[in-house]
Structure 1
Amino acid sequence: MNKRHPKQALYFIWTCNIVAIAVFSASWHFGGIDLSQLYSPVFATWLLLVCLARHGGLFDFVDSKLSAGIGCVIEFAALIILPFPLFALSIVISCLINMADRIRKKHPEPFLGPDFNASSTIVVGFVSSSVFIGTAGANPSSELLFTVALLMNTALFGILRIFLINTLICLDEGIAWRTGPAIKGDTVFTEGILLITGAVLAITYLFNPYLILFLIAPALLLQNLLQKANKAELIYIDEKTGIHNYRYFDEKINEMYMACKKNGTSLSLIFGDMDYLRDVNNTYGHSVGDDAIAAVGQVFKQSLQDDFTAARFGGEEFVMILPETSKGAAFQHAEIIRRKVEKLNLRSEKNEKVALSISLGVASFPENAEDIQSLIQKADEALYEAKRKGKNQVCLYEENKAEKLILAH
């Protein structure tokens, strides 16, 4: 089943598309572009570079790494070198090629990725290039003025691009804007490096076009390093749900345990296990069961706060680490997760309502455990108690089982 994007995300995409079309049309109407420039070697060169960079789905829908790759470098360099109408035209042409390629490959969403990334690039490029021209003029004579304008152009392009992409990701995944992946430090740093590289490439080309041949090897090396960094990060992501996996959980809980132990604060753990998943698989098929697991994973992701960490522990089991959180607060947070799962609107291939529920157990350090292993064990015991009591409820671990607190729906 294809992902059904929220209406807010689709409205945001279409709003960006409409603004981009208006900007593109206005730039050609008022830009004073001579049609002979369409046949110039400069435009042909950068059109080819942009198309090669963007072709093949380089800018997929809601890519959390932003435009991590050589494409970002080439695009920003093209924005500096080409008049804006020609730059926008190169983006449109490359977008159409990308769409055609995705249709040929029968991609389930041939338009959502390329059209948003093209429209957002055009809108952001228009704003930043307008500031550049407004600061330095169409033909800057002062090197200092050109440098200041270029720095402003680079910063504004990056900030606006991050803002638009992070907004779309958050609307699409239903998470708070401040928790979006596009504003994380490593992502912002990567985007900054790419834009600076693009600016250097543009300046080199303006000084002597043939010198860019010597920048091809460093640019490819940068691309290779970014790809390796991205692959290294992917080993911590669960492919089915998009949240972190057990490997990440195992490393993160050790890190958080040491910090909480040092600071003398609580560390709570929520263990969750989906109820009746086998029945879902048998009744509706394993594809719907996979959708159910993915949907619950998104509930855990959308329920993150502050420094919380969510991960798929394995199978239909999920876990959330809550540093500096009391057992009572973790208990209430687990109940929120339970209610969200219960309200999930999952449909089968025949549009039948698929009922989902989850049982959860909560334990805390140092109240219930002295180390990580015992904390995991206590949370698992609390989860087992929730299952034993009838499922679809939250159980708080207590040493005295007679005093267990069961929060039923």
Structure 2
Amino acid sequence: MLAIIKELFINLMIIIAILTLGNMIVRDSLIKKSKKHSFIIGILSGVFGCLLMLFSVRIFPNIIIDFRCIPILLMGIYFSLSATMASSMVIGIFRVAVYGLNMASFSGLITALFLGLVCGLIGKQNIGIKNKWIFSGIVACVVPGISFVLLLMGSNNLYLIVLVYVISTALAVLLTSQFMKYIVKSNEEYYLAKESLNKDFLTGLQNIRYFDTSLNQNLDEAKKTQKPISLLFMDIDFFKKVNDTYGHLNGDIVLKEVGQILKRLSRDTDVVARKGGEEFTVLLPDCDASKAVKVAERIRKKIEENIFVSDQKEEIKITVSIGVSSFPETIADEEKLIEQADIALYKAKRSGRNKVWVAP
């Protein structure tokens, strides 16, 4: 009995270790749920099941059990039917290849495929993760349990074998479901923390850290493809007067709404960021100078026409000045894209504000 408990413990630790390692490897790619990615993860899950088969638990001299069902359940609950079937096929084929073609191996192959099909279909239902685990766990206990009954009919220890299998599998399913709950919650916190590192806390726009990284990546791409890239530097005119007149709380309201306007008037591929204070930037990949000027004018006009409302229902009117630089159309050296946009912004403000100025 002590040996069985020891082997069960080893199997459960293997499950936890593989899930932890697998999550670390694929955490950032889990959002890519294409058929190709799903199928590949299904294959890897099948390899996981094969590993669990190699660490099977011997409950009688000629009887072993394992937790190959766990990877199949994981694929059904968290991925897709194709991933579940891929995992089942790998496990079933491995069972035949390692232990030879006999009744037990054939039964193991059919059981794995049937389990994969049923769990995959359960996973497609809109019943919540908890219910998916409950129904899939029941199937994982019942289907192999029936297989044991058919293979060991007449054995003196039949009911004890089935009982040990059902209890062990139920325990493994319970442990895995709780550990996956922890992993999912940890991943949500990870993504939230990762996103917050790149976000401006006030406006929800990208921050200067994210902007600098995106600028370098897009400049490298522009040099390789010879596609234009433009940059807008924007500053709210006389913003100090807004803070002094209406208070910093209302100044924040203005900043937030300006950020929303910038997002609405930008493409999904554009990078809209707040530099700090009342300064904003918009990076426009694959956009030449003429198009960039049109975007800048649209932003300038929209903000000029917009009525900002204070917490006391007072109307606040503002304008903005915008500097535009574009590589390679107006600037030959991509390293000067920021410098020239900043100079253009300075000239827009010096020339009377509420203007768009193009570098050089």
Which has the higher Rg, Structure 1 or Structure 2? 2
Matches within 5 A, 1:5-404: 146-147=118-119, 149-153=121-125, 199-200=132-133, 202-204=135-137, 207=141, 211-398=173-360
1:272 is paired with a residue whose SS is strand
Whole-Å separation in 2 of the counterparts to 1:317 and 1:363: 16
Whole-Å separation in 1 of the counterparts to 2:115 and 2:138: 16
Q: Which runs of 5+ in 2 are unaligned?
A: 1-30, 32-113, 142-165
What amino acid is the match of 1:267? I
Which deviations, in whole Å up to 9, do the C-alpha atoms of 1:31-86 show, x marking residues without a partner?
xxxxxxxxxxxxxxxxxxxxxxxxxxxxxxxxxxx9xxxxxxxxxxxxxxxxxxxx
Residue identity (%): 33
Whole-Å separation in 1 of the counterparts to 2:284 and 2:131: 41
Any conservation in 2 of the 1:345–1:354 contact (CA below 8 Å)? yes
Any conservation in 2 of the 1:368–1:378 contact (CA below 8 Å)? no
Which deviations, in whole Å up to 9, do the C-alpha atoms of 1:286-315 show, x marking residues without a partner?
000011111111111111214111111121
Whole-Å separation in 2 of the counterparts to 1:202 and 1:243: 43
Which deviations, in whole Å up to 9, do the C-alpha atoms of 1:255-297 show, x marking residues without a partner?
0001111001111001100011101101110000011111111
**TM-score, normalised with respect to structure 1:** 0.49
Shift of 1:377: 0.7
Shift of 1:365: 0.7
1:271 is paired with a residue whose SS is strand
Any conservation in 1 of the 2:270–2:284 contact (CA below 8 Å)? yes
Cα distance change on mapping 1:202 and 1:334 into 2, 3 Å = farther
Any conservation in 2 of the 1:359–1:393 contact (CA below 8 Å)? yes
Shift of 1:366: 1.3
Which deviations, in whole Å up to 9, do the C-alpha atoms of 1:323-359 show, x marking residues without a partner?
1111000000001111121122211232111011111
Whole-Å separation in 2 of the counterparts to 1:205 and 1:241: 48
Any conservation in 2 of the 1:268–1:321 contact (CA below 8 Å)? yes
Any conservation in 1 of the 2:133–2:177 contact (CA below 8 Å)? no
Whole-Å separation in 1 of the counterparts to 2:116 and 2:220: 50
What amino acid is the match of 2:287? T
Any conservation in 2 of the 1:205–1:212 contact (CA below 8 Å)? no
Which deviations, in whole Å up to 9, do the C-alpha atoms of 1:103-149 show, x marking residues without a partner?
xxxxxxxxxxxxxxxxxxxxxxxxxxxxxxxxxxxxxxx97874564
Whole-Å separation in 1 of the counterparts to 2:138 and 2:193: 32
Whole-Å separation in 1 of the counterparts to 2:311 and 2:270: 34
Cα distance change on mapping 1:387 and 1:197 into 2, 3 Å = farther
Cα distance change on mapping 1:151 and 1:214 into 2, 3 Å = closer
Whole-Å separation in 2 of the counterparts to 1:333 and 1:373: 22
What amino acid is the match of 2:219? Y
Q: Which runs of 5+ in 1 are unaligned?
A: 1-65, 67-141, 158-194, 399-409
Q: Which structure would you say has the larger RCO, counting Cα contacts within 8 Å and 6 or more residues apart?
A: 1
Let me know the Cα RMSD of the aligned residues: 2.6
